[in-house]
Structure formats: C-alpha cells, structure tokens
Amino acid sequence: HIDNDHIVGLISMLTKKKKLKIRHILYNCYQRISDNAINLDEKMKENIKRVIGNLPVIVDMLEYKISEEKAKILAEVILANEQWNKAWQKEYITNKSKQIELSNDMGKLIFLSPSTKALEAIDHLYRKLFWEKMFKQKKNDYKEEETIYEALLRSIPNQSDDIEEKICSTELSEEALKILANTPLNPITPTNMASIAFIWEKEEHRILFMGDATPEQVCISLNNIYSDIPKPILFDVIKVSHHGSAENTSNELITIADSKQFFITGKTNASPSINTLARIITAPLSDKISSRTINYNRESPAIKELITRQDLKNELKFTILNNTKYEFFC
C-alpha cells in the first residue's frame, strides 16, 4: 500500500534493476481509466512538485547514505517503463479479487485485504488532500494521475510508532504476558486499512503475507475462504502485520491463523511491540504445532527482554532468532 516505508524500497529496487522482467504488478494506486483526462495546469504542476520535494529520499540502509538526492514516485517509475506499465494491473486489488495463478507451477495468490470500503475511505482522503495541497476541488481526471495520488497520500505524516513500555525482565511471567496480550486494539490508519494482504498457496503449503493489514479484515477473509477447514489454519510462515505493531495482530487472528514460523520486520526500536509478541507466544499450541519461532531483523526492547528469559521460552515453547530467511520445498 501507499506508505513511505514500503514505497521507497521498491523505488530503489526498480531504479537499479531497469531491465527487470515483471509479469504482475499489484499496486493499488489511482487507476481510473478515463477518455477525458486532462493535463495539469502550471499552478498544479508547481504544487505537486512542492509536495514531492518534501517526500523522503532514498537512503542506502547498508551504507547509511543518501542514494537519490530527490524523492521519486513509484507510479512514475512504473509508467516510464513500457513493460512494467503493461504488467500493472489496472483494477484495484480487494478481498473479492480473483486468485492469480502463478507461472512455472508456483501456486497461486489468494487476496484477503483490503475491502472495498477501505479503498473508498482512501479515495475520500485523496479528495480531501487534493483540496488541501492543490487548492482546488477534484472534479476532473488528470493524465498520469497515479503520480498525484501517490504523492498526496505519501505526504501524510506518519503516526507515532508504538510507545514501548519499559518492562523489566523479572516482571515478565506467563500471567503478565497474557494480560499484555488482552490489551484492547486501537484503530489503525486508513492507509493501513487499505493494505494488500494475501496468501501464497502451493498444494498443502501456505504463506500468509499480512502487509500492514487490519486483523479484523484478514480474519473475515480467512473464515470465508477456508470455511471447511478446522481452525487454526496452519501456515508454513506468517509475515506479521505492520512491523509487529500492537494494533495489527489480535488474539482472534492467532486462533484462526497459526504457524511454527513468524517473521517480523521491524521499523523502529519500538517494533515489534510486547503486546503483539505476547499474543503470539501465549496462544494455545495445536496438535500440529509443538513450538513457535519468532524471526526478527530489529531488536526492540520487547525482543531484548524475551531473549534473556529461557524459563519463559521453555514454558511457552518458543524461540527467538535474528533471522530473515526461511526455505521449504514443495
């Protein structure tokens, strides 16, 4: 979905790999097909240039240096490449979208999120931002409006990340973790509500990619798609939603979708949150799962505390690894 921490990495990849062959591009951007699209006037061009100028530039995280002096727009990069432009699916991806059969007998993609309602909320937000940043009402369709749509949505300031409570390792117990797991979830942002979540399925193998999706929507879709399968549904791997944010993983989700392997890609020092970790490791183990592994790439305070607690790892049957790779064979 349209968020700087997702978009910038893709821009960097496509900028460096200009000859990359892509068969499907699934990116919910402004894809209205209109025969009456008009050009931007000069004032609008100035306004959108100003918006883009305030977006984050590309930073090489390995060398910790700026690799692009100016911000780029993913939609613009795709549209400039004829092959990628053709590969870009014009219809929005929703939980009602048809499954995509992958070539070379690689299985299929099954879409869980977003809902049409979530995309309508984003469309409303876009029109509001159009008025605020372009200083006019959104009454027309514009040529290459995808770039305007992306730039305006990326201009929204990021909400503050999870505020991690300082928890002493000696205070952690199974009871304390269950209390943390039962902390109510707060609402998430409209852009995260519109995040694409999907399953990559190949025969009996399944991987759940949560993106930044809301757990409520994913639970609804999983129950609909796998109505005849006993819960929890067993996945080879689950990529945890939104860096392990406290608001994007629910107890209900873990009772519906479970795995031996959870991957959390952290964004800041506060992610993953202790609440999300607690919901995963305190969930009852099923007959098919004897233990769980939390794989992470950023060591949050919660991760640091749990790593030291071998007693909890033995009691709740979980391990924690600094790892970003997993292989399985079909």
Binned at pLDDT 50, 70 and 90, residue 80 comes out as: very high
b or e along 212-241 (b: 16 or more beta carbons within 10 Å of the residue's beta carbon)? bbbbbbbbbbbeebbeeeeebbbbbbbbbb
Which of 199, 196, 302 minimizes the C-alpha distance to 246?
A: 302
Average pLDDT over residues 228-254: 95
Query: What pLDDT, on the 0 to 100 scale, is given for residue 56?
Result: 65
Average pLDDT over residues 214-240: 97
Determine if the pTM surpasses 0.85. Answer: yes
Query: What pLDDT, on the 0 to 100 scale, is given for residue 159?
Result: 58
Same domain membership, residue 209 and residue 126: no
Q: How far is CA 270 from CA 102, 178, 191, 244, 312, in A?
A: 36, 20, 20, 9, 21
What is the domain range of residue 86?
A: 4-93+114-154
Same domain membership, residue 186 and residue 141: no
Residue 330 lies in a domain: no
Last residue of a domain, one of 101, 129, 154: 154
Residue 109 lies in a domain: no
Residue 100 lies in a domain: no
What's the mean per-residue pLDDT of the chain? 87
Same domain membership, residue 257 and residue 132: no
Same domain membership, residue 136 and residue 71: yes
Same domain membership, residue 201 and residue 150: no
Give me the number of domains the chain comprises. Answer: 2
Residue 305 lies in a domain: yes
Query: Is residue 44 within a helix (H) or strand (E), and if so which, with residue range?
Result: helix 42-53
Same domain membership, residue 192 and residue 132: no
Residue 107 lies in a domain: no
